[in-house]
Amino acid sequence: MTFVLLLALWLGAFMNHAALWPARYGLPAPGPTGQRLARMLRLGLPTGALGLAVGVQGPVTGLLSWFAALSFAGLLAASLLALRGRMANRP
Amino acid sequence: MRETLRTRLGWLHGWFGYGAGLVLTCIFATGSVAVFNMEITRWMQPEVRLSAPVPPSPPALDAAAHLVAAGQARGVSAFIALPSARSPTLDVLHYNGHEFVGTRLDPATGTVIPARVTAGGGLFYNFHHTLFLGPQAGTIIVNIAGMILLVAIISGVVIHLHALVPDIILLRLSAARLRAWLDAHLLMGVLFLPFMVMMAYTGVLVKADMIVPVAPRPAARSVQVPALPPAPIPDMTRVQLAPLLAQARASLAGQEPGFILFAPQRVSIFAGDASSAFLTRDHADFSLPEGRPLPVDATATSIARTMQLMHGLHYARFAPPGLRWLYFLSGLCGTAVMASGLVLFVMKRRCHAGHRWAHRLADGLNVTVIAGLPASMLAFLEGNRLLPASLTGREDWETGIFFTVWALCASHALFNALRVQAHHAWRVQLGLVGLLGTSLPVLDLLCSPAAFHALPGLHMAVDGMGSVAAIVALYARHRLGRQGA
Amino acid sequence: MQMRRINEPVPRTRPSDRLAHTTRLNRNRVACAVVACLLAYGVARLLVAGIAAGSTTTDRVHLGQMIALFGLPVMVVFGFGAWKRHAGLLMVGTCGGLAASLILFAA
């Protein structure tokens, strides 16, 4: 359950990251407030996830889970964005 | 062409990565599977149907001690592995030069379980850290490959540094083939960078004495110790292990005993590797044959603790099932990074070097490693079910099947690739993986239905992984067919 | 059409020149990679010996191995990557000198 939460938090962070690079990921550009919010969330969500992982699972297992969540959430985010791009390109 | 840092490190990344990548892909693939080495051994011994571990009874421990004594009388140095969550039997094991093999006992009654002899998951474990080339030469080769992996990672990071963070989740499926492969390589390479660095560094460090040994001290060289006559082995059948185990459990402070080792003058009860992330190998010693507790120095400095953590992180024996799956999946993604790197290396050079025999050889080697290895791994598992349970030298037959199938795949791939038909080799071998993977659950159900009913989770996990491998291989084959050579 | 920097020399286009240049470049790279690997490995061995020198416990050996194995790939990349006037190789060699001095001090 903790890992699912970590995954969700990292996924959120990656989506905010994508929002901050709209040209690269083919997303609409956010406004200044949206940018500030996205920047805060990109930093805050992984930090929260780290606190959660270490708090619940201890330092060693927690750190391992945190890094694993980074990797798998990144893959998930990349797949979602790639699929979205493919759908958008479809005539 | 102007020489820049990027072009120079690109050359280093490409050539070092390809040279070592062929070996590293095999090391990573077998290492990922070896995360579940004990579970695979249980799958390969369907006669063992115990599901949950029970504490070993005094008669069972006595029976195990009898087996150890019988082994020592034959000159075989055996030890006792206590039941654990991953292996619920009481095992009397010895090292046969490649893996730990031996007799399995029911921990409640002490009766010998007539399990088939198998190479088990130990084959993957052994291949992962020695390539089956022996503990000396094999480990050195694996360590050098691990070091080259670190060189490739550092050079890869420097090349990609400018886009490392912005492109961290960039994947362009609709781009050209080469670009899409490069994106996939970069995506997984960056995301699994922490895992790959951790495994490569800890892996090299656990066998550091092989690669950067410290020179022998002068004092140690000058003192000539005369060879002592072998100490007489006490009669271990008179030693009561159950009370010693209870004492050891009390003195190991929260750690569950895992192994019982015997020396001429003492018996040592070691904490199990699952006790903590630090592979401490804490132990309680008792004199033989009286069973009197012996003093043990359990203090560890911070450097010793760091080394214990490095060992623990690499072996992952402390990991609960969830984390073990993450190790396994991360290992597979690391394998995919290397495999995609191998494919990219050949693809990038196809235009200007495709006619050369060296390029065709590289293509054939890629097929051997990426498609041939999974095929031989699946054939090894199927061989376990097809070979007669009472066959003499069964574990050697199983190992033989693994290497024979792989050698056949290599011959087929190289033969086709050198005739400029690598595409055909890819299709055939991916089809073979698909066939072997889909037939694994069927064969398991037909050959050992009772074991499937007794341990459905274990059997579904192993069979399921075979099926997933088959689906991935068949999908890749389908894509290959659509896109052409 | 690609823009070219004004300080960049006009590239030679004769195929034979280009081939000779590539061959020379590759030969230089292979030699440099071999030297960087051998030098870095020697320095790593010296580091272990230097850090472990004068100590009777295995702790210093382990510390030396941790540092040496961390530094070894970095030294290979640096020794190979910083090729101008062989700056990388010289720097790795200097590290080796420092490691050797550790052994001398401990003796």
CB contact under 8 A, B174 and A85: yes
- Determine contact: B426 vs chain A, CB below 8 A: no
Digit-coded pLDDT (tens) for B300-344: 889 999 999 999 999 999 999 999 999 999 999 999 999 999 999
User: What is the pLDDT, as a whole number, of residue B254?
Assistant: 79
User: What is the pLDDT, as a whole number, of residue B355?
Assistant: 81
Structure tokens at C97: 């000198």
CB contact under 8 A, A68 and B326: yes
> Judging by beta carbons within 10 Å of its beta carbon (0-12, 13-18, 19+), is residue B418 exposed, middle or buried?
middle
Digit-coded pLDDT (tens) for B216-229: 655 444 444 455 55
Taking contacts as CB-CB distances below 8 angstroms, the residues of chain B near A77 are 169
- Determine contact: B313 vs chain A, CB below 8 A: yes
Structure tokens at B71: 């082994």
Digit-coded pLDDT (tens) for B69-125: 888 888 888 899 999 989 899 999 988 777 788 899 999 998 999 999 999 899 999
CB contact under 8 A, B191 and A3: no
CB contact under 8 A, B194 and A67: yes
With CA atoms as reference, the chain B residue closest to A74 would be B169
Chains A and C lie in contact, requiring 3 or more CB pairs less than 8 Å apart? no
Q: Is the pLDDT of residue B416 over 50?
A: yes
Mean pLDDT of B42-53: 90
DSSP calls for B96-107: -SSSEEEEEE-T
ipTM above 0.85, yes or no: yes
Q: Is the pLDDT of residue B484 over 60?
A: no
Q: B235 pLDDT band (50/70/90 cuts)?
A: low
User: What is the pLDDT, as a whole number, of residue B232?
Assistant: 58
DSSP calls for C64-98: HHHHHHHHHHHHHHHHHH--GGGHHHHHHHHHHHH
Q: Is the pLDDT of residue B171 over 80?
A: yes
Q: Is the pLDDT of residue B236 over 70?
A: no
pLDDT mean across residues, chain B: 89
User: What is the pLDDT, as a whole number, of residue B480?
Assistant: 86
Q: C3 pLDDT band (50/70/90 cuts)?
A: low
Lowest mean pLDDT among B43-57, B169-183, B285-299, B411-425: B285-299
Domain locations along chain B: 349-485
User: What is the pLDDT, as a whole number, of residue B233?
Assistant: 62
Chains C and B lie in contact, requiring 3 or more CB pairs less than 8 Å apart? yes
Mean pLDDT of B464-480: 94
Q: B186 pLDDT band (50/70/90 cuts)?
A: very high
Minimal Cα–Cα distance from A86 to chain B, Å? 7
Mean pLDDT of B404-418: 96
d(CA C105, CA C107): 6
Longest dimension (CA), chain A: 50
The interface residues of chain B toward chain C in range 141-200, judged by CB-CB distance below 8 A, are 147, 150-151, 153-155, 158
Structure tokens at B289: 């044959």
Domain locations along chain A: 2-89
CB contact under 8 A, A85 and B309: no
In degrees rounded to 5, what are phi and psi of residue B343?
A: -65, -45
d(CA B31, CA B44): 18
Q: B466 pLDDT band (50/70/90 cuts)?
A: very high
User: What is the pLDDT, as a whole number, of residue C4?
Assistant: 52
With CA atoms as reference, the chain A residue closest to B323 would be A65
Mean pLDDT of A57-76: 95
